[in-house]
Amino acid sequence: MSNKTLTRADLSEAVYNEIGLSRVESSEIVEAVLDEVSTALVGGEEVKLSSFGTFSVRQKSGRIGRNPKTGEEVPITPRRVLSFRASHVMKDRINEAFKKLISK
Amino acid sequence: MIKSELVNRLADQYPHLYQRDVERVVNTILDEITEALGRGDRVELRGFGAFSAKIRPPRIGRNPRTGEAVAVAEKCVPFFKAGKDLRDRLNNEGS
């Protein structure tokens, strides 16, 4: 396992290499993709990207939580949370790669 | 929103690009994330969220219908955690 962390810079580098846009435009369009996905989610839309996965927003109701350190009760307000379900294609691709890594 | 709608919305913002190039951009980004996870790398997109893959150790599962024990091999499962900005936006804006 290489255990690196990829960032926006790596994604725009990939776009730059694959598509042949300028570096500036590559990084702009990576940002635009993330913005569009975020805006759709904030607007309550589910985002389904085939062979990748589905992002969905779930409504959580309020409840009484507890500070585990002090035992003090704290109210947890109702809120929206984001969940991601990876598609089978993604899970399979990751597992294929993982099997190759551990067999080495 | 599905992938083709995402591509359409982006194509509206980038009228000088061919739709198929916008589609290639989206696929390149998604493939890059999947490949990184396959290598055991993390992908951290500040403000949006982070993708990682966690290793689930091998275990003895059970066929729920027959009760029979089956070996489940070690596997790797993808995981996503929303970034702070996106979490905040989900609760302060929108519907």
Phi-psi region of B73 (alpha: psi -120 to 50; beta: other; left: phi over 0): beta
**What is the ipTM metric for this complex?**
0.87
- In this complex, the residue of B2, B26, B45 whose CB is nearest that of residue A48 is B2
Same domain as A49, residue A39? no
CATH code at position A71: 4.10.520.10
pTM for the full model? 0.87
pLDDT tens by residue, A4-19: 999 999 999 999 999 9
All residues of chain A having their beta carbon less than 8 Å from the beta carbon of residue B79 are: 84
A positions 4-63 inside 8 Å of B (CB): 4-8, 10-11, 14-15, 18-19, 21, 29-30, 32-34, 36-38, 40-53, 55, 57
Please state the domain count of chain A.
2
Provide long-range contacts, Cβ within 8 A and 24+ apart, for A98-102: A98/B38, A98/B40, A98/B53, A98/B55, A98/B75, A98/B76, A101/A1, A101/B39, A101/B40, A102/B74
Range of the domain at A49: 44-103
